Amino acid sequence: MEWLGDAVELTVQGALIQTMETIVSPQEISKIFVIGATGAQGLPVVGALVADRKYSVRALSRDATSRRAKALLALGNVSILEGSFADEAVLREGFRGCDGAFINIDGFNTGEKTEIYWAIRCYEIAIEEGIRFFVYGNLDYALKKAGYDSRFRAGHYDGKGRIGEWILSQNLANRDRMGAAVFTTGPYMEMAISAMTPMTPSVEDGILTWRVPLGDGAVPHVALEDCGYYARWLFDNPRRANGMNLEVAIEHVDYRKLAEAFEKVTGHPARYIDTDLDTYWAGPLKAAANFPAGYNADPADKSTMSFRDNFTGFWNIWKHGMIQRDYALLDEIHPHRIRTVEEWLRREDQRGRALGMGSLWERVQPQNMYTSAPLLKLSEDGRKGAL
């Protein structure tokens, strides 16, 4: 069943969606099927697609009545298709009648193995159903980039990264029938000031403190607001984007610089404490360490990675600098992109104040951080839900 919304509010979770008047390009795609639309990434992507009514979106959600699904409907030009991506009939219904697709399969639901299967089926069914431009929500194929060294193995990265490469190779033969682009993001910057993430900070003796196993490394964090712009750019520029792997980030964020920038922006003390992996896993994430990284992955399947194994590889990737970005290309594609963590913190502070959420310093206090709406839908749902 498809649910229709007609309101014209341009906010999602209170966040103002950037308007896109600056983008001018031939109109090729009009209706986009989005998987992952109610997620942290999907909300700004859908917001950017429908902001000026250039595109309409059919968003897949397992629950059309959720707070986030309703926020999407309130944008206008959005309908919700209720169902799961792990169902061919639902995928067919989702793609049929659309000409574009933005597909972000939630590997933290499925686990790595099942994610790979459904991502492949999405691409295949999209072609069969006549999609003309397919954007795949990707993460770096970190294992390969690290020279196939298993210290750098994170299932939620490799599960996407392999498929990103596979799609680009399929696209060599299929590009005139269905164009495809891979949109490679990375850890959301927002996670560094949010509860229940691998980089959630704590306030210790009045000092905002990040205790993470990053050494002298840096995380190429992405700004969700910019993800909306980039996704929109891919659909607006299908000829250039066809066959492209657009790898994005704000900058490589060194957490010492993150703490310095936080102090500068808020006037309150902050620090980064490099933490060895054993200490990290004895901390707030201890209870989750042995759970499967994907909440519907089979714990008895030996291919299933635990949280601990998955995020140990994840931190090693950043600690040892395995992932690069072409920042000059990003400057060209998005001249007004957020370029530094300080700029991001400043904007976030202002945005929070404007929305009545308080200053950044107030927002990271535990009584506020743990009671405000979670960044990730998966946290909002308590890591539960159907495959």
Ligand X SMILES: NC(=O)c1ccc[n+]([C@@H]2O[C@H](COP(=O)([O-])OP(=O)(O)OC[C@H]3O[C@@H](n4cnc5c(N)ncnc54)[C@H](OP(=O)(O)O)[C@@H]3O)[C@@H](O)[C@H]2O)c1
Residues that bind ligand X (CB under 6 A): 35-42, 60-63, 66, 69, 84-86, 104, 106-109, 139, 156, 185, 187-188, 191, 376-378, 385, 387
Measured from the CB atom, is 69 or 341 closer to ligand X?
A: 69
- Provide, rounded to whole angstroms, the least separation between the CB of residue 205 and ligand X: 29
Measured from the CB atom, is 106 or 236 closer to ligand X?
A: 106
- Provide, rounded to whole angstroms, the least separation between the CB of residue 55 and ligand X: 18
At residue 266, φ and ψ (nearest 5 deg) are: -100, -20
3-state secondary structure of 295: coil
Asked whether 6 and 78 are in contact (CB, 8 A), the reply is: no
Measured from the CB atom, is 104 or 278 closer to ligand X?
A: 104
- Nearest in space to 306 (alpha carbons), one of 291, 296, 317, 288: 291
3-state secondary structure 187-232: CEHHHHHCCCCCCCCEEECCEEEEEECCCCCCEEEECHHHHHHHHH
- Provide, rounded to whole angstroms, the least separation between the CB of residue 295 and ligand X: 9
Q: How far apart are CA 7 and CA 26, in angstroms?
A: 27
- Provide, rounded to whole angstroms, the least separation between the CB of residue 177 and ligand X: 26
Measured from the CB atom, is 211 or 377 closer to ligand X?
A: 377
- Provide, rounded to whole angstroms, the least separation between the CB of residue 387 and ligand X: 5
Measured from the CB atom, is 45 or 180 closer to ligand X?
A: 45
Measured from the CB atom, is 36 or 292 closer to ligand X?
A: 36
- Provide, rounded to whole angstroms, the least separation between the CB of residue 128 and ligand X: 19
Q: How far apart are CA 280 and CA 212, in angstroms?
A: 6
- Provide, rounded to whole angstroms, the least separation between the CB of residue 192 and ligand X: 10
CB atoms near residue 299 (< 10 Å): 12
Measured from the CB atom, is 49 or 378 closer to ligand X?
A: 378
Identity of residue 382? G
Measured from the CB atom, is 269 or 284 closer to ligand X?
A: 284
Q: Nearest to ligand X by Cβ — which residue?
A: 39
- Provide, rounded to whole angstroms, the least separation between the CB of residue 379 and ligand X: 7
Q: How far apart are CA 4 and CA 74, in angstroms?
A: 9
3-state secondary structure of 300: coil
Measured from the CB atom, is 90 or 207 closer to ligand X?
A: 90
Q: How far apart are CA 243 and CA 233, in angstroms?
A: 14
Asked whether 131 and 95 are in contact (CB, 8 A), the reply is: yes
Locate 133 and state its tokens.
């431009």
- Provide, rounded to whole angstroms, the least separation between the CB of residue 28 and ligand X: 26
- Please provide the DSSP assignment of 95-129 as one string: HTT-SEEEE---HHHH-HHHHHHHHHHHHHHHHHT
Helices 112-128 and 88-95: crossing angle, nearest 10°? 40
359 contact partners, CB below 8 Å, separation of at least 6:
266, 349, 352, 353
